[in-house]
Amino acid sequence: MSNVVYEQREVKRSRYAVAAVFAVHGAVTGSFATRVPWIQDHAGVSAGQLGIALAFPALGASVAMPLAGSVSHRFGARNALRGLIALWTLSLVLPSLAPNLLTLCLALFTYGATAGMADVAMNALGVEVENRLGRSIMSGLHGMWSAGALVGSAAGTLAAHLGSDARLHHVLAAAVLTVVGVLSCQWVLDLQPAEDEDPPPRFALPPRSALLIGAIGFCAVFAEGASLDWSAVYLREQLQTSAGLAAACTTGFTLTMAIARIAGDRIVDRFGAVRTVRASGVLAVLGGLLIVVAEQPAVAMAGFALMGLGIAVVVPLCFAAAGRSGSNPSLAIAGVATITYTSGLIAPSAIGMLAQATSLMVSFALVTLLSCGLVAFAPVLRPGDRPKINRPDATVPDPRP
């Protein structure tokens, strides 16, 4: 077997390994989210205190994300991802152990910091695999994250229904996910820095290119956060639906996003990132308009479904564009990730404050307006030349004796 053919086969295998890591990352998030009520009761915090504590994961991620590049440079991409994904899965245990507000905030800060660094490392490897394959895979990788989150949520819902202790649940989940994550890393690309390559700064502001790309991600994640947290409330309060129908709207939004991400790579390969995001923006704007003008639940649910379809592939394409935007992909990806995390943090509270001052309809008019940014700024995601497959400073795992 020629070296080129063998390397191409191993790059394809690395794609599935990175996909497994994405799924593990999502499963941790789903496992945590379903046990937040138990964690609140165990820590003895009020709803307001819980809201403060839940800001700490995003804060930790924002602080730690710029460090991921130096970690990968020092240890190599494969070892860095192996260590970071293990830290992330094991950190799942910490929030359920917290006995009070202070320790809960510290636990969630650590939880977010490890999540953010693992997020940057796996997205950087995903971009590298995409470049070597010469076709889009980032949307599918993020679809695997969504699938992992759904699996983790389902398992957490079952554990909560059975009345299990979240400490035991999270210990078992962390053990399983750590093993799966670490084993999956055996097959990812072993990228090593060139001998004459200077190490990246331990902490640096994101490059300008990342700011422009991150602005598009900000619009998409703002719409995602608003829809996830407020779609059920919108149907319940604005359209007076039942609680079950309102919950079904949120579930439908999540499913349309997951399906669109899994199918998105073929669309991107056929039409390109710019046209895909423009069309996605149009869908998101149409969805927002349906939500705003809806007088019947079915119309609003169709609007949220279109919103999910419209924003699903945007963030994966932002990461892909960031990874090709300059000489330091990890720093650019960290910059984009920081901006999107920030958007996800402020969106739910911004929607709530605006709704309190005006109405939920006005809040989603803002979401619709931001969705227009996807159409206007899509050219920022225009891809550059993909690197060639044979790169001297990267190796792939060789299982042959």
Place of tokens 């990175």: 18
pLDDT in tens, 86-114: 999 999 999 999 999 999 999 999 999 99
pLDDT in tens, 151-180: 888 888 888 888 899 999 999 999 999 999
pLDDT at 288: 96
Q: Are residues 27 and 162 in the same domain?
A: yes
Q: What are the φ/ψ torsions at residue 190 (nearest 5 degrees)?
A: -95, 75
Mean pLDDT of the chain: 86
Q: Is residue 130 part of a domain?
A: yes
Place of tokens 């920022």: 380
Q: Are residues 230 and 136 in the same domain?
A: no
pLDDT in tens, 144-153: 998 898 888 8
Total residue count of the chain as it appears in this document: 401
Instruction: State the pLDDT confidence band at 10, using cuts at 50, 70 and 90.
Output: confident
Q: Are residues 14 and 162 in the same domain?
A: yes
CA distance 184 to 322: 24
Coil/strand/helix, residue 191: strand
The CATH number of the domain where 34 resides is what? 1.20.1250.20
How many separate domains does the chain show?
2
pLDDT at 281: 96
Which residues, at least 6 apart from 14, have a Cβ–Cβ distance to it below 8 Å? 125, 129, 187, 188, 189, 396, 397
- The domain of 309 spans 204-383
Q: Are residues 70 and 211 in the same domain?
A: no
pLDDT at 169: 94
Q: Is the pLDDT of residue 299 over 50?
A: yes
Q: Is the pLDDT of residue 208 over 80?
A: no
